[in-house]
Amino acid sequence: MKRVVIAAGGTGGHFYPGLVAAQTLKARGWEPLLVVRTGDPALAALEAAGLPALPVDLRGMPRRPGPELLTFAYKLAGSLALLSRTLRSFQPDLAVGMGGYLSFPLIGAAWRRGVPRAVHESNAILGLANAAARKFGAELFWGLPPADPAIGGKLVGTPIRPALRARRAKDESRRALGLDPAAPTLLVFGGSQGASAINAAVPRALKLLPGLQVLHLAGKGKADAARSAYADAGVRADVREYLEDMASAYGAADLVLCRSGASTLAELAAQKAPAVLVPYPHAAADHQDANARVFALTDAAERLPESELDARLGPVLADLLKSPQAESRRAAMAKGYERVGLPSPDAAAGVFADALEKISQ
C-alpha cells in the first residue's frame, strides 16, 4: 500500500481540497496522513472522515519584522524536525502541499528525505509557501489558470466536496431552505467570518429593487446587524451566520454575490453560478483580485472591487436580476464557465490524483 502525507491545514480553502484529494487517493488504495495546525477546527472533520491527522504548532509567517518573526522561525524549525521524524517513521511515497504555510515545512522535510513532492496552488497567483516549496523540487499544479503562465505547472482544477459538484433543482433548494420558490433570489456570503463591507452594502443597494429575496450568510457574530440593515431597507432577507448546506444555497440562487477565494470559485464553476465577485482587498499579493479576473475574462462573473460597491452595486444587481435582459445575461454568464478551461467538477479530483500517482512512481 502506498502512503501520502498531505499538508492541508491553515484555512478551509486549503483544507477541503486536501481532504478530497486524500479521500480520492484512499479510494485508490493509498494510506493518507493529513498535516493540520494545532487546534485546527478541521480535526473534527478528519475524525468524522476516518482520516489520521498530524497537528503541527505553526502559524503563518508575519509580514513585518518584529518579535513575532523570531517566534515563527523557532516554530518553523520545530515543525521541520517533527515532519522529518514523521516521514522517517511513516515512510510515504509522496508528500503534497495544498498551499498555505504548512506546505513549506512538509515539502522541505520531504526534500531532505528524498520523498517525491508536489504542491497545489488553488489561486491564480503563486503563494509564498508554494513558491518556496518549488525551490525544493516540488511539482506544481494549478486550481485556476495562472495569471503568469510562464511560471509553468499543470492545470488540474481544485477538488471540491461531492455534494457541490452538481447543481440542485431551484424549487427543491428553495423549499429546503424555507424560501419562496417563485421569488428571484440573491445569495450573499463573504466566507466563514463574513465581510462587513458586503453586509452593509447589499441592503442599501437592494432598497430600490423590490420583489427580490436574499439568502445572506453574514458570518459569525454579524447576523443581527445584517438583519437590522435589511429591515431598515425594507428588503426580504433570510440572514444566517453560516449554512452547512451550501448545495441548497447555490441551487436556490439566481445570482451569487461573494468574495473570490479559490475554493469559492471552484464551487461557483462546478455550479455554473452567475456571480458578482468582490475581491477581499487585503488578500496577500491581491490574489483574490487575480482570481476574480480569471472568471471576468470569460464573462462568467462580474468583478466588482470593494471600493466601488456603493457606486456600482445597485446598477449591477438591477442589470442581473431585474432588467429585461437579466435572464439572458445570467445564462450567458453560466456558459462563460466553459471557457475558463477547468476540468469538470467530477473529473478534477481524479485528474489531480492521476498526476500525483504518476509523480510517486
Distances (CA, A) of 86 to 10, 53, 60, 81, 113: 19, 11, 21, 9, 11
Query: Is pLDDT at 62 greater than 60 in this prediction?
Result: no
Q: What is the pLDDT of residue 52?
A: 94
Q: What is the pLDDT of residue 193?
A: 61
Distance CA 16, CA 164 (A): 12
Q: What is the pLDDT of residue 37?
A: 87
Q: Which of 178, 195, 191, 332 is nearest to 255 (CA)?
A: 332
C-alpha cell at 278: 468582490
**Structure letter (DSSP) for residue 126:** -
C-alpha Rg value of the chain to the nearest Å = 21
Give me the numbers of helices (H) and strands (E) for the chain, helices first please. Answer: 14, 13
Query: Is pLDDT at 76 greater than 80 in this prediction?
Result: no
Share of the chain above pLDDT 90, in %: 78
- Average pLDDT of the chain? 92
Distance CA 52, CA 8 (A): 12
Query: Is pLDDT at 185 greater than 80 in this prediction?
Result: yes
Q: What is the pLDDT of residue 49?
A: 86
Q: Which of 83, 42, 75, 80 is nearest to 57 (CA)?
A: 75
The residue-averaged pLDDT of 179-206 equals: 91
Highest mean pLDDT among 37-41, 71-75, 89-93: 89-93
Show the beta-strand stretches assigned E in 190-315: 213-217, 236-240, 255-258, 275-277, 301-303
Query: Is pLDDT at 192 greater than 70 in this prediction?
Result: no
The residue-averaged pLDDT of 164-186 equals: 96
C-alpha cell at 290: 487575480
Lowest mean pLDDT among 8-22, 42-56, 119-133, 299-313: 8-22
Q: What is the pLDDT of residue 350?
A: 94
Q: What is the pLDDT of residue 225?
A: 95
Distances (CA, A) of 83 to 6, 77, 86, 89, 111: 11, 10, 5, 10, 11
Split at pLDDT 50, 70, 90, the class of 172 is: very high
Split at pLDDT 50, 70, 90, the class of 284 is: confident
Share of the chain above pLDDT 70, in %: 93
Write down all domains in the chain, each with its CATH number in brackets: 3-157+344-360 (3.40.50.2000), 164-339 (3.40.50.2000)
- Per-residue model confidence as pLDDT tens digits over 15-42: 889 999 999 999 999 999 999 988 877 7
Q: Which of 224, 261, 255, 256 is nearest to 241 (CA)?
A: 224
Q: What is the pLDDT of residue 58?
A: 76
**How much is the pTM?**
0.92
The residue-averaged pLDDT of 174-195 equals: 90
Query: Is pLDDT at 94 greater than 90 in this prediction?
Result: yes
Higher pLDDT, 43 or 350: 350
Q: What is the pLDDT of residue 40?
A: 79
Give Dmax (Cα) for the chain.
64
Helix (H, G, I), strand (E, B) or coil at 327: helix
φ, ψ of residue 60 to 5 degrees: the values are -65, 155
